[in-house]
Amino acid sequence: MVPFVINTFDPLMMYSSPCLTALVLADENLLIPVLYAIPESVTNLNITMGYPIMGSIVFNLVDSLYELGRNKHSDRGGGSAYYYKDVLSILGNPLLRTIYGEHIQRVRNLITKSNLVYLTVKEILDGKSEDILFHTGSIKENACNYLTDVFEFLIRNLAAPENEARTDPVQMEILFQVYTYLTRLNDILANYTFEPGYETLFRLIRRMLKTLHIPFNGEPLAGLQLLGILETRTLDFDNVIILSMNEGILPRSSAIPSFIPQNLRFGFGLPTPDHQDSIYAYYFYRLIQRASNVVLIYDSSTGGLRTGERSRFMHQLYYELPGAVKEINPSFPVTLLRPPPIIVEKKGEIAEALLLYAEGGKKTLSPSALNEFLNCSLRFYFHHIAGLPQPEEVTEDIDARIFGNLLHRAMQILYTRFGSSLLTKDQLVDLLKKEDLINDALDRSFHEVLFGNGEGGSSRQIEGFNLIIRQIIKSYIHNLVSMDAAGGAFSIADLEKHVETTIPVDTADNLLSVRIGGTIDRIDLYEGQFRILDYKTGMVKNSFGAVSSLFDSGEKLRNDAVFQVLLYAMIYQKLTPGSSIIPALCFVRGSHADNFSYSIQYGEKKKKLEEYREVKTEFEELIQLHLERLFNLNEPFVQTENTKICENCPYAVICRKEGR
């Protein structure tokens, strides 16, 4: 903001004789910010402008009710189902907290737990029947009646003795004014035989509410005078402060709503934008002609459609009154401070939390947790030691994590029916022909994974973009079963098997037995060997260089998929000594390729990893080394130097690594 001063102006003057001072808002949208910015020393204030309804929570409620009715669906039982964002918008409105306070957190938990995109009235209100907002059976047939009933319901509830002390009187006045307007509109519509459509009626209501203002009560002969540019007509003040003196705001540049072309309007003497500019020029010069001190402030910042250009009236003053005008350009130097690195020492409660992963503790180190530690030890601390929750959101469009869980569960359901019997090519080809079994597995997977298997989950429909995802998963299932059929006979030893073992770790202080475990997607018995198979829905990464690269989070991203399946192989071999284990990865994205394979390749020559024993010694030595790092109390948790890892980190806002 740049002040533009005519004559000399002492800011303290407006406090000594505020009734002689006018604060004029060329942009009336600044009313609310200005009211909050006026210092407490100004005890008397007369506001000539009205409080705009458009900027109130009442107007937001009207918008939310419009969206609630527009996005409403019908459920299978014939009732109404509402979009979760519209429901949360209404429940979170400050006007309704006293009415729905007991339901807000319960509904939020229900939405995230069961991944509910649409909610029924029963799910929202938990059986509460005395409600108007969510009983919107006739909202699209008679929106005006519905809104009138809603606002009458709100006025009665908020004016009740138990709620009166917590109710904002300004918002109550706005509620009453809107209710009065809706009642009049209802009476007018009753005189006509036609009924406006839902969209048309709401647009009409919104347009009319935008023009409504709630008047303030004040004393015009006392206090600081806060006015709009039109309210200053015929009034004189000693001190005048005008805000938003930008071109386009004063004079206001608005097109004349007319179908008559500009040249015809000019030729026949009709009003043109030049006439409007002349009117505002008269208002402006008449206001400042008798003032002793004038301060004109404009915003010189640019951004979006704002050019930061000062008003043409200021240019005129600058060149016509060169001696009486003083321009001040206040500068606010902004320095970006580099956030200090975050270092967390392993002391006190942190050291005790680490011991929970030792034998006798309550926690188990999973492959994903070790992957987090190798990528960024500070992220491991945030997630597994400090216990900072990662944000849970409703998944309308299935993301990569949900996609993988759906595929995992569907494959588990399909293969569980075979038990541990030998699976031949003929059995698997026959399975591909039984579309009803595959469809049933997919439906069960969606209801358990996506819908949370909650109340009414079996009755919810797979719809919209999720139908396309379902078809994609189905094609992947066909590819994977075909791959298994072509690979020769095998039997399934286990599905979604939880495995766990302990590894001795020698720290500087004592010897620990650290618990490591996780869930293996599939364990096959193939040609006398155990095949540890892990499904992956991300990019195909079935090769790695040296074993040491699986532990290095340098410039390139580690192959965490190979690390995970090798860790599973290590654990399973400890549980089944002497067994031969084949680590394998199933990247479903590549299942359509001719050279699709479960095998892992390593080294410069991309040698096929035939058995875990080929990398066992080096892999387990490095696991031992990094576990000692994790439990070494002298090595703190620090941020990673690889900023690529930070791109999808849920704790990036806390860490602020990208700002360093």
Burial class (CB in 10 A: 0-12, 13-18, 19+), 116: buried
Answer with the residue of higher pLDDT: 470 or 553.
Answer: 470
The H-assigned helical ranges of 159-168 are 161-164
Rounded Cα distance between 86 and 61, Å, is 10
pLDDT value at residue 72: 82
Answer with the residue of higher pLDDT: 439 or 134.
Answer: 439
Judged against a pLDDT cut of 50, whether residue 202 lies above it is answered with: yes
Q: Give residue limits of the domains in the chain.
A: 2-49+217-327, 54-212, 349-659
Going by pLDDT thresholds of 50, 70 and 90, the confidence category of residue 305 is low
The pair of structure tokens assigned to 30 is 């600044």
Strand 73-74 relative to strand 80-83: parallel, antiparallel, unpaired? antiparallel
N-to-C CA span, the chain: 30
Domain 2-49+217-327 has CATH 3.40.50.300: yes
> pLDDT of 413-451, one tens digit each?
999 988 888 888 899 999 999 999 999 999 899 888 877
The pair of structure tokens assigned to 580 is 């031969």
Going by pLDDT thresholds of 50, 70 and 90, the confidence category of residue 9 is very low
Rounded Cα distance between 195 and 550, Å, is 69
Is residue 535 within 8 A of residue 622, CB to CB? The reply is no
The pair of structure tokens assigned to 58 is 């009442």
Rounded Cα distance between 375 and 370, Å, is 9
Answer with the residue of higher pLDDT: 493 or 98.
Answer: 493
The pair of structure tokens assigned to 57 is 């929570």
Going by pLDDT thresholds of 50, 70 and 90, the confidence category of residue 456 is very low
Q: Phi and psi (nearest 5°) for 628?
A: -65, -35
Q: Of all residues in the chain, what percent carry a pLDDT higher than 90?
A: 27
The pair of structure tokens assigned to 156 is 């009665």
Q: What is the mean pLDDT of residues 535-556?
A: 84
The three-class DSSP label of residue 69 is helix
pLDDT value at residue 223: 83
Tokens 């004038």 correspond to: 294
How long a stretch of residues is the chain? 660
In sequence order, the 6+-apart residues with CB closer than 8 A to the CB of 231 are 48, 49
The three-class DSSP label of residue 8 is coil
Going by pLDDT thresholds of 50, 70 and 90, the confidence category of residue 242 is very high
Going by pLDDT thresholds of 50, 70 and 90, the confidence category of residue 307 is confident
Among 455-464, 510-519, 567-576, the minimum mean pLDDT is found in: 455-464
Judged against a pLDDT cut of 80, whether residue 244 lies above it is answered with: yes
pLDDT value at residue 395: 63
Tally the C-alpha atoms within 13 A of residue 127's C-alpha that lie toward its C-beta: 0
Answer with the residue of higher pLDDT: 374 or 7.
Answer: 374
Query: In what helix (H) or strand (E) does residue 67 lie, and over which residues does it extend?
Result: helix 57-70
List beta partners, residue 505.
512
Within 10 A of 414 (CB to CB), how many other CB atoms are there? Answer: 21
pLDDT value at residue 459: 57
Strand 50-52 relative to strand 213-215: parallel, antiparallel, unpaired? antiparallel
Tokens 């595929």 correspond to: 407
Rounded Cα distance between 408 and 491, Å, is 18
pLDDT value at residue 126: 76
Going by pLDDT thresholds of 50, 70 and 90, the confidence category of residue 118 is confident
In sequence order, the 6+-apart residues with CB closer than 8 A to the CB of 321 are 6
Strand 543-544 relative to strand 601-602: parallel, antiparallel, unpaired? parallel
Rounded Cα distance between 180 and 172, Å, is 12
Is residue 524 within 8 A of residue 509, CB to CB? The reply is no
Nearest to 83 by CA among 60, 116, 110: 116
Rounded Cα distance between 130 and 152, Å, is 14
pLDDT value at residue 12: 46
